[in-house]
Structure 1
Amino acid sequence: MTTQQSAPRSQAELIVVTHGPDTSLTPSALEHSRDTEARLATLLPAGARLARVFGPIDRLHGRVAGTPHEPVAAEYLRYFSVHGLTEGLAALAAWLREDSAVDGAYLKPPAEPPIAPDGAAARSTADAPPVTPNFEARQGYLDPAPQGVDARWAWTVPGGRGRDVRVIDVEGAWRFTHEDLLVNQGGVIGGDPSSDQGWRDHGTAVAGEISGDANAFGITGLAPDALLRAVSLFGLGSAAAIRTAADALGAGDVILLELHRPGPRFNYAGRPDQAGYIAIEWWPDDLAAIRYAVGRGVVVVEAGGNGAEDLDAALYSTRPADFPSTWRNPFRGGAADSGAIIVGAGAPPAGFHGSDHGPGRSRLAFSNFGSRVDAQAWGREVTSTGYGDLQGGSEEDLWYTDVFSGTSSASPIVAGTVASYQGISTAAGHRRTPAEVRARLRATGSPQTDAPGRPASQRIGNLPDLRAMAAPH
């Protein structure tokens, strides 16, 4: 057996948020933004450059036309990222904050894939057999409620395999040449995928959960007829990656955010135990990008993070001094609500795969929780593509895992469930809005249970139940 390492962190990101009008994209708003951009460019050191988080200024009007955000779309002109520097970012952020045009300039700590802190797999060195066995029986999350999400039932219903639904996974890297990811995969459409094995295994496992091919071997995805594509945060930054994904999708399609990062609990420090890590929407540019996607009608499913944090804590309502003055804590919902579906990690049924992680559907100790967490799914014992602990050997395209974990493994189950539900809804003639999907997840499903020291009052939500979601209401 070969021990596999978790994926490395991405680079820190320097984000600049300028002052600007809260209006539609009027000629004066555009002129003001161009002037501000030129001003900021003069403040940057050699080798640094500004990039607009929401893309070319002349394309923005067409992207927001007809959306709820059109009347205030000038907001999206305010967000910039700084590229080309790896050192001196904190000092540059402080320098930029002194300029009258700047409302906030902050460093986002590196993002990581939200696999469980002890979730690194051990890859088997034994050669794979000539034909991969069928592992579908090991995918208990496909089973009927209350154990699973009842995907097997959904597959018998028109659209239940995710037909006509598109999904984009936002994270670091993937292996789209895997033998079980060949049919409805659209590849990487943005960013520069990492060459790191940990990121690649992670993305491959996520892809398998959602849209692994329906065949006689390996695993089967929750929504195998959905078209899965990917955008890497490398080269773009997380917010620009979300915006890129949103621009490639239509109303009712799905974005999955497979990232978390260190929050303020431990002064944004990266830690092996991931304590204090939180969902990425807490940072202003990521929040704006998610709201942009949801405003276009795209359903955003977001990992809640593995920091063991109460997202209702007062800490998260304290605005950091380097954040823009307009920021409000999205974990409190209300006017600052991102509109995303936040996912927590729950335990699989006790004894599954011979392991016991506590009562089924109870909060796993590492999972974040709080009133804004909408739904849970299995955060342990998830069978999928990648890693190679279940089937390994020298050929990466034949690797499978039995122990994918974290809000990493839980979030694709919810995203795949949403894709299946949207497929059913589309076949019935009514594709659901992001708000409708989120409300349905909260109103149905198998309830969270108590565990010693982790009561159900530490909310991670219900485990989805596709049969209940799709029932007439």
Structure 2
Amino acid sequence: MGPTDQRRSSLSAVSGTRPAPAELIVVTHGAAVPLAASTLRESVAAEARLTGLLPPGARLTRIFGPADRLSDKLAATAQESVAGRFLNYFTVRDAGFDLETLAHRLREDDLVDGAYVKPATELPIAPLPMPRRSLAPVPSVTPDFRARQSYLDPAPHGIDARRAWTQPGGRGAGVRVIDIEGAWRFTHEGLTGKRGGILGGEPRGDEDWRNHGTAVAGVIGGGVGGFGITGIAPDATVSAMSIFGGGSALAIRSAADALGPGDVILLELHRPGPRHDFRNRADQAGYLPVEWWPDDLAAIGYAVARGVVVVEAAGNGGEDLDAALYDLAPADFPSTWRNPLRGGDHDSGAILVGAGAPPPGVHDRDHGPALSRLAFSNHGARLDAQGWGLEVTTTGYGDLQGGGDEDYWYTDVFSGTSGAAPIVVGAIVCGQGIAAHGAGPRTPAEVRALLRATGSPQVSAPGSPAGRRIGNLPDIRALAGE
């Protein structure tokens, strides 16, 4: 899948931020069967044998946690009858830089069905120049920027969040969200109060990763108080899980274990795919949603089986995800892998989000017809919903309000499927909060079906017909069944 050193030395053209490190994943042979004592013994023996193949200092970690705890975690779920398959997934840590050579060595063992190096993970912010931080003096009290958050407005151009706030549960109380990416600043004035903080991983000490996570958290659950911004679901509990230290699949599994049915995981990640030989690129061309990789696909399926709604940025690769290219399994993937972007039996169960244009005139700019696909957004039959991919006002970055203290930074231009996905999450959380006061929170499948059946329809733009599907913009009123 390409030389590891090229992936690791690449910098994100968007921000100058170094991508997350490449990850070495090992998948052993093992049947998709119910867990039994014999299955556990065989898996533990395989783990010991693989550990013996690693170089000094390297560590083998089970992505789905201790083998003897898995049965309880999947009891009474749709995955219980095939839970044995989750024993097959391992990540290798602290193995040094020559991951491709180690992957090749591991694949030569009869126990191993696949061993592959995932390319460096990036943030799906639009491939545009990053905003400049404002150097204007910061007032003693932050102004009220809520009028700039037009995505809160009624349909068809917004998600009707302001009306949702007038309904019981419509501010997201009782619903928990875990954002999976790299870093955050929960000390920001707009994120204090009912915030869950960072639950796991090792947050990257990097301003651009931190700005991104702060912006996402603000869109979903930013605070209220007559200043700054208000998140779509301001009473929800927003927490975070970093991919640094353990990798993306382990973060997804850990988040799923921390949540309950009806709660939400957001995946703010994408990776370079096979279109350009899995190489990190300045323009993000060919980047894919993370579910295309086998371990992330398994982890998403694990979370969905536990009743957790998983929302995933579709990526900024400008790709047709229906292309036959994505049906081709790399030689180092396990033999059981099938392209999840085709849906059907191999569907991840996640909600895939594309990036649509905001209404012309927002922030005095025009990006084409409202609800049309932005050129950088991936598209295809698998996409379920869209959010604004430009002009998202939220916490972080400092172009709208800057100064020397990150706790008071705000932006007008958060973007990409990065900006779109938390808008969809916010709508889901409000809908789940309202539903909790009625029949109860909806299942992941029910939420996805509602997103596809309701909302404000995608429109065509020059060079971007509506047939290049990114889905509808959510309408919370419809999501809530009103």
C-alpha contact 1:165 1:422 (8 A) present in aligned 2: yes
Aligned to 1:181: 191
Residue 234 of structure 1: SS of its match in structure 2?
A: coil
Contact 2:14 2:127 in 1 (8 A): no
CA distance in 2, matches of 1:364, 1:187: 32
How many correspondences in the alignment?
Answer: 470
SS of structure 2 residue aligned to 1:90: helix
Query: Which position in structure 2 is the counterpart of 1:30?
Result: 40
Q: Which of 143, 149, 156 does residue 166 from structure 2 map onto?
A: 156
Other-structure match for 1:126: 136
Q: Does 1:287 align with 2:287?
A: no
2:102 alignment partner in structure 1: 92
Q: What CA distance in whole angstroms lies between the structure 2 residues aligned with 1:4 and 1:452?
A: 25
| Matched residue, 2:416 | 406
CA contact (8 A) 1:160 1:420 kept: yes
Alignment check: 8 A CA contact 1:119 1:406 kept:
no
For residues 338-384 of structure 1, give each alpha carbon's deviation from its aligned partner in whole angstroms, at most 9, with x where no partner exists. 00000000000012101111100100000000000000010000000
Q: Secondary structure at the match of 2:122?
A: coil
The answer for the alignment partner of 1:466 in structure 2 is 476
Q: What amino acid does structure 2 have at the position aligned with 1:353? A: H
1:454 is aligned to 2:460: no
What is the CA-CA distance between 1:126 and the residue it aligns to?
2.0
1:119, 1:405 within 8 Å by CA — same for their partners in 2? no
Alignment of 1:92-241 (within 5 A): 92-241=102-251
Q: How far apart, CA to CA, are the structure 2 residues paired with 1:40 and 1:5?
A: 38
- Tell me how far 1:21 sits from its aligned partner: 2.3
Cα offset for 1:86? 3.0
Q: TM-score, normalised by structure 1?
A: 0.98
Q: Following TM superposition, by how much is the alpha carbon of 1:127 offset from its aligned partner in structure 2, in angstroms?
A: 2.6
Provide the residue aligned with 1:445 in structure 2: 455
Q: CA offset at residue 4 of structure 1?
A: 8.9
* Aligned residue number for residue 3 of structure 2: none
Q: Deviations over 1:392-425 (max 9, x none)?
A: 0001100000000000000000011111100000
Find the counterpart in structure 2 of residue 52 from structure 1.
Answer: 62
Deviations 1:85-135 (A, max 9, x none): 231100110111111000000000011110001051111122310000000
- Structure 1 segments (4+ residues) deviating >6 Å: none
Contact 1:127–1:394 under 8 Å retained in 2? no
Over residues 16-72 of structure 1, what are the superposed CA-to-partner deviations in whole Å (9 max), with x where a residue is unaligned?
A: 000012211100110000000011011111111100001112221111111110111
Q: Which amino acid in the other structure matches residue 134 of structure 2?
A: S
What letter is aligned with 2:429? A
What is the aligned-residue identity percentage? 65
Matched, 1:66 2:76: yes
2: distance between equivalents of 1:402 and 1:22?
A: 48
Alignment check: 8 A CA contact 1:8 1:198 kept? no
Shift of 1:8: 2.2
- Contact 1:119/1:404 (CA < 8 Å) preserved in 2? no
Q: By how many angstroms is 1:327 displaced? A: 0.3
Q: Which of 52-61 and 435-444 deviates more?
A: 52-61
Report the counterpart of residue 40 of structure 1 in structure 2: 50
* Deviates most, 6-15 or 192-201: 6-15
Instruction: Report the RMSD for the aligned CA atoms in angstroms.
Output: 1.1
Deviations 1:288-345 (A, max 9, x none): 0000000000000000000000000000001111000000000000010000000000
Report SS of the residue matched to 1:59. helix
Secondary structure of the 1:373 match is: coil
Match of 1:351 in 2: 361
Task: Find the counterpart in structure 2 of residue 76 from structure 1.
Answer: 86
Q: Aligned pair in 2 of structure 1 residues 115, 76: CA closer, same or farther (>3 Å)?
A: same
Mapped to 1, the partners of 2:425 and 2:132 lie a distance apart of 26
1:377 aligns with 2:387: yes
1:105 match: secondary structure? strand
Give per-residue Cα distances to partners, 1:162-199, cap 9 Å, x unaligned.
Answer: 01100000000000000010122110011000001110
Deviation readout 1:255-289 (Å, 9 max, x if unpaired): 00000010010000000110000100000000000
In 1, distance between residues paired with 2:96 and 2:150?
44
1:59 & 1:391 partners in 2: Cα distance?
Answer: 48
SS in 1 for 2:82: helix
Answer yes or no: is the 8 Å Cα contact 1:345–1:410 preserved in 2: yes
CA distance in 1: counterparts of 2:230 and 2:449, whole angstroms: 27
Q: How does 1:193-342 map to 2 (within 5 A)?
A: 193-342=203-352
Q: Which residue of 2 aligns with 1:396?
A: 406
**Structure 2: how far apart are the matches of 1:47 and 1:372?**
41
The 3-state SS of whatever aligns with 2:240 is strand
Flag the 1:421–1:32 CA change in 2: closer, same or farther, 3 A. same
CA distance in 1, matches of 2:123, 2:409: 19
Tell me if structure 2 keeps the 8 A contact 1:4–1:123: no
Aligned to 1:5, which of 7, 15, 18? Answer: 15
Q: Gaps (5+ residues) in structure 2?
A: 1-12
Change (3 A) 1:423 1:377: same
Identify unmatched segments of 5+ residues in structure 1.
none
**Counterpart in 1 of 2:6?**
none
1:434 to 444, 450, 453: 444
